[in-house]
Structure formats: C-alpha cells, structure tokens
Structure 1
Amino acid sequence: MSSFGQVIHINLFGESHGESIGLVINNLPAGLTLDKKRIEHALFKRRPKSNLSTARQEKDPYKIVSGYFNDKTTGTPLTILIPNEDTRSRDYTPEILRPSHADFTAKVKYNDSNDYRGGGHFSGRLTTPIVILGAICESILEEKGIIVSSHIASIKDISDTSFADIDITEDILKKLNLSDFPVVNSTVKAKYEAQILDAKHNLDSVGGTIETMIHGIPAGYGYPFFDSVESILAHLLFSVPAVKGVEFGKGFAITKLFGSEANDSFILENGQIKTSSNNSGGIQGGISNGMPITFKVAIKPTASIAKPQKTVNIETMEETTLELKGRHDPAIVHRVIHVINAITNYAVLELILRTEGTKWIG
C-alpha cells in the first residue's frame, strides 16, 4: 500500500506516464495557509535543470482539488494533483526487463497488469507530491524551531566535508536548503559535476550518499522498539526510490570503536544536559535526546543506462541484450536529496504529533 501515517495519514497515487500523479493528506488541522512560494521553490530544486539530469521537463503545475478553501485548509482531506505533460511512452517495451528496475517484480506482483511506462507507480516521478508534502511539513516545523537540512556527502568516490567536521549553525543549514545542489565545501561541486558528466559520456551512471541533520528537535520524541525515531525515519527513507542504505550517527563506523570511544558522555551546558559527542546521532533508546539527529542514506547509481546489458525477454523467455534509449539521469543524488529532506520533514512532524497531537499547529 502506498500510504503511511497514524496522525497525518498520506496516500500516494498515480503513474509516471498516466494522466496525473498526486497525494491525499489526511488530518491536517483546519485554518492553515499553505506557503505556495515555499512549495514552488521545493519543486524547482527537485526538477531537472541541466545536462546533469534527464531531458524530461515537467513544470509540475500542481492543483489542490479538495481540503482547501479561501486560502486555508478545511480540515478535510487535502488532495493534490500534478499532471504529467512531458511523457514519451514509446521508449518503453513491456517484454524486455530493465535491469535493477521494478519491471519483473511488478509483473509478478500485479499479474502482468502493471503500467510499465516509465516505471509506472514505481517511478521517481512519484516523489514530486512528496516534495509538496515536505514543504507543508517544513512550514509547520518552523513553529518549533526545527530545521531539516542535507548536503551531498559523496558522488561515487568523491566526498564533501561532513557535518561532523564543522560547527553547524542555523544559517549554514538554511543556506543549504536554498540550494538545488547543496554542498558544504563549495569547491567539491565542480568535482561532483565532472564525475557525473564523465559517467554520462560513458553511457553509465553514478550514485552517492546524502547526509542529513534534524536541528532543534528536543529530547523525548519517539518510542522504544517499533515506533522508535530510527524505525519511523528508516521506514520512510527506504520508501524513496534508489535508497539502498541508511545509517544513524556514526553508523557502521561505530563498529571500529571501543565502547569508551563510542559512548556519548553527558555534560552540562548553560544548565542543559547535552552530550560531548554525537556518535548515536541524537537518538538513544529510540527516543530523541536533544542533540541534532543525523543520518546518511546511500543512493544507488541510476538504473537506466545506455550501455548494453544482459536481460530477458519475458514473453519469449529468451536471454537478450538491452540498450536503453530515452531520457535518463546519469545521477539522481542531486535531485533525490530534496526528496530526502521532504520525507524527513514529514517523518519528524509525524513523530512529534504522535506525542503532542495537532492542537499546537496554527
């Protein structure tokens, strides 16, 4: 099911080459005015804009068809539609399975009735309404002084400066959120772009990692075990196409430390309990501890590449070779980063509302 949420319940619908895609957001309180400039900027950042991305151009002229009246939410389901305009379905054939796509599993799951064009419901195109959801949640989280921000931590084997290696301020995080290609060290951007263009020249693609920080979230949110901060975030992060790994705080590198090195010692700072390090990524026992929540996600290389690949013709049940045609991204890290921010904003709001309810919003 393409739905999630106990408090702010969402339903994602549509296909990449269908008439439209969209989202239903349930239980938003009445009386909220949507920040449409923020939504437009979020959509702009996700959109392809150069030879680093696909040539498919969607303007994303979203339309709110329910739950909004006189510039305010009504408290009923908020339904958002986004038309698909720049489709080219002739580039897709149902019988040839594309390596590392959902073509085969979708055929098995839905008895060969799935919409295969552009990946159908499995396409990254479906992240567009998630970006709108994220912009709405971001506005609400600002009331609590919470900022979600990310940077491109790596492209293939080239890396940016880590959040852990600098003194993070709200200004730094806000500056990253303004950029459509956010990096901490500005000099690494050209190296990233060269790596992406080199892969494109070789008819290939590259992946990378994204580092995210949730700044300003107080201690006490989340629950142990199944509704922990990590559980909710990981569930939603893995719902984003191309995410293949998630690690919190020090992540897998913590396994190389002694306990005396890994433990986050408690200290007092201006009368508040904090930790001297943040190896656990702001989470202990599944609950936020007041330190910034940090995590990384791994983004796989774009599966659609023009290099010849071995595959199967599912109709004739014969092995064949596929050379993909059409418009594809040589890397999607710089686009999916804005989806990661969006889904994280939603996850944080959902976590807070499970503890506090919705009455404070407004």
Structure 2
Amino acid sequence: MGNSYGTLFKISTFGESHGKALGVVIDGCPAGLDIDESFIQQELDRRKPGQSKITTQRSEDDIFEILSGVFEGKATGTPICLVIHNKDQKSKDYSHIADKYRPSHADYTYDVKYGIRDYRGGGRSSARETAARVAAGAIAKSFLATKGIKISAYVSQVGDIIAPDYPSLDLSQTESNIVRCPDEQAANQMIELIDSIRKNRDTIGGIVSCVATGVPAGLGEPVFDKLHAELGKAMLSINAVKGFEYGSGFEGVKMKGSEHNDAFYQEEDKVKTKTNYSGGIQGGISNGQDIYFKVAFKPVATIMQDQESIDSQGNPATVSGKGRHDPCVVPRAVPIVEAMAALVLADFYLINQTTKLRD
C-alpha cells in the first residue's frame, strides 16, 4: 500500500536505500512520446548525492536502465520500467542503530507498523527512494513540454535567508550555483550558512518554490480532487516536507477581499487576471495563469551529534550520528519537487482529455 501515485499517468516505485536497486514502473505514458534518455539522466544527476560540499558525500552515479516500454526511443504505451542500481552502500555505518530509534526518523513508526524495519539508511523510508520519482518525473516533464507546459523550481529560503519572489528572478540562473537559488546574493549567503552548519555537525531547513507556466485552464476536478489538493499531497509525500502553500498562502490572511481578488480581463483570445493571488488555481481548477507554490523542508533529522533516545525494548539509549547525510536537503530537493509537480500535471492533463471526450 502507498507505493503508487496517479490515475491515468500512474507510477509505482520500489527499492530501498541500501538494497540492490531502486526503480519505478510508469503505466499510462502516451504511446509515441519521445523518451530522451539523456534528459532523464540529466534530471537524475541534479538529484544524485555527492554533488558539492553542501550535500551528502555518498557517491552514486545513479545510472538508470530501461527494462521495458520503450522501443526505438519512443514509448510503446505499455508499462515503462526503469531501474537504478545502488553501488555505494555502506550498511555498516548503520549497525549501531539496529535496535535504536533515531529522533525524528521513521524508525519507531515503521517498527510499530510492520514489526520489522530495514535500519540500513532508513530502508524504504529513505529519501533515496525519490530517485525513482525523478526518473518518472523526467518522462512526465517531456510529455508536458509537448503541450507547452514548463515547471521550474528553485531554493527560495535557507534558514532565515530569503530570496526575492519569483516574478523578479531569472529562473534560468537556478543551476548557476550549488544551492540552486537564482538570486546571486541570496545564494552566496545560503551556501555560507549551510557550510557553517555542516562544520558544526548540524543541519538546517529551507523552502523550495516552484512555478508551472503554460498550464491551460481547466485542469483539476471539483470537491475532493482539486488541483491544489493533489499538488499538496504530492509535495507532502516527499521526505522531510513539513508544509505546503500555494498562491498567496498564509500571507493572504493579512489582506482584504478587495485587495486579494484577482480581477479578470480579456487579452485577444485569452482570459487573464490582473493579479495572481490565486496561484493559478480557482475552485480547484487551473485558470491559465502561472501556478506557483512553496514547499517547506525540515532540517535533516540525522545530525553528527549524540542524541538521547530509546531502543526497541524501551531502554534509554544514545544515538551517535554516523554515515553520510545532507546538512541541508533543499538543493537536491529542487528536481524532486519539479518531478512530483510534473506527475500531478501530466495526470490531470490526461484526465482532462478523457473528460472532454466523454462530454
């Protein structure tokens, strides 16, 4: 249960952090779609560990292999299976916590739910699982690109360092630095903060902002399957995510209705709004404006310090920080956020097509 996502464009991921491999099965990818393997690898490279001094030093190439569903570079319409083999597992780094519960990890909850847990790097609860999502998201992004839809995420906050809002940023500069913030001044401050946190054997949280442009009006379903509800679910399914807001979000409560309402106007054959506090979604359905949202990530739970906890028998225990971990997860989370947004939008795009055919 809980290992699949989507309705028509559906994915199921498999594998553990220290298992033989991770992977994903994608069902519902439209036949004939060009599958650009170099693009998939590019997306995986953006997420992989060992990229810089401010990410975990685990060394994984994250080279993928397509096992099915692609012929002569095109999707056949049958299930696509991609696999990524693990190569740099150091399971002995986790033997000291085989019977201990690490603070703010899934150790206790997995143990109480299943009666057994893979303690090596967190097993299935590890963020390494997201490599499979990024691979699937790359294919979803390729599909959306054929419809003129583009998804761009970036780091907008680390600790108390905040970048300007997206309309004033050049998002093409996101990959110009190791923290993936398109504002140079904020990026330098973020890198300095993360590095100092790392040297102090601690971690820090941050925010990834995401913008989807070119989304047509009409995506989303009423009541329980609203577009923003699905985006929220998708983002909150990512490891370490503690919050999601779209449009004006929590800041909108400070405004009056007369200030917050997005007035409509007609420009040639398109309906637009003068402002976009709605975040491109009204009534749970896209209105054709930019969709934008923020995703908050907590500080990584594994810290290189001793912490008090208990073992599986309820006895007091000290958990010592070992292994290789990110001092701040947000730089590597950028492609994960993009991937999940792409999966949501690709699914809703296909659903919308069937709705129109049904009508």
* TM-score normalised to structure 2 length: 0.94
1:344 and 2:348 aligned? no
Other-structure match for 2:107: 103
User: Which aligned segments of 4 or more residues in structure 1 are displaced greater than 3 angstroms?
Assistant: 172-181, 357-360
| Aligned partners of 1:45 and 1:335 also within 8 Å | yes
Shift of 1:126: 0.5
Partners of 1:182 and 1:358 in 2: how far apart? 38
| Aligned partners of 1:45 and 1:179 also within 8 Å | no
Partner amino acid, structure 1, of 2:42: H
Shift of 1:269: 2.8
1:15 and 2:16 aligned? yes
Shift of 1:177: 6.4
What SS does the corresponding residue of 1:310 show, helix, strand or coil? strand
| Aligned partners of 1:204 and 1:305 also within 8 Å | yes
Show CA shifts across 1:164-214 (max 9, x none): 4x2x7xxx4455368764323112211111110111111110010111111
Partners of 1:44 and 1:294 in 2: how far apart? 24
What SS does the corresponding residue of 1:30 show, helix, strand or coil? coil
Of 258, 280, 286 in structure 2, the residue corresponding to residue 288 of structure 1 is 286
Of 36, 42, 63 in structure 2, the residue corresponding to residue 61 of structure 1 is 63
What SS does the corresponding residue of 2:59 show, helix, strand or coil? coil
Partners of 1:39 and 1:186 in 2: how far apart? 27
Of 79, 85, 88 in structure 2, the residue corresponding to residue 86 of structure 1 is 88
1:32-71 residue pairs with structure 2 within 5 A? 32-48=33-49, 49-71=51-73
What SS does the corresponding residue of 1:297 show, helix, strand or coil? strand
Other-structure match for 2:316: 319
| Aligned partners of 1:46 and 1:180 also within 8 Å | no
What SS does the corresponding residue of 2:334 show, helix, strand or coil? helix
Q: CA RMSD in A?
A: 1.9
Other-structure match for 1:119: 122
1:216 and 2:198 aligned? no
Shift of 1:106: 0.4
Question: CA separation of 1:231/1:203 partners in 2, compared to 1, >3 Å: closer, same or farther?
Answer: same
Partners of 1:284 and 1:193 in 2: how far apart? 37
Question: CA separation of 1:140/1:178 partners in 2, compared to 1, >3 Å: closer, same or farther?
Answer: farther
Show CA shifts across 1:266-308 (max 9, x none): 2233453211111110111000011101100101111110122
1:161 and 2:164 aligned? yes
| Aligned partners of 1:147 and 1:173 also within 8 Å | no
Of 300, 304, 307 in structure 2, the residue corresponding to residue 306 of structure 1 is 304
Structure 2: give runs of 5+ residues left out of the alignment: none
Other-structure match for 1:229: 227
Other-structure match for 2:193: 195
What SS does the corresponding residue of 1:187 show, helix, strand or coil? helix
Structure 1: give runs of 5+ residues left out of the alignment: none
Partners of 1:39 and 1:184 in 2: how far apart? 23
Partners of 2:70 and 2:283 in 1: how far apart? 39
Alignment: residue pair count: 353
* TM-score normalised to structure 1 length: 0.93
Other-structure match for 2:260: 262
| Aligned partners of 2:264 and 2:273 also within 8 Å | yes
| Aligned partners of 1:207 and 1:302 also within 8 Å | yes
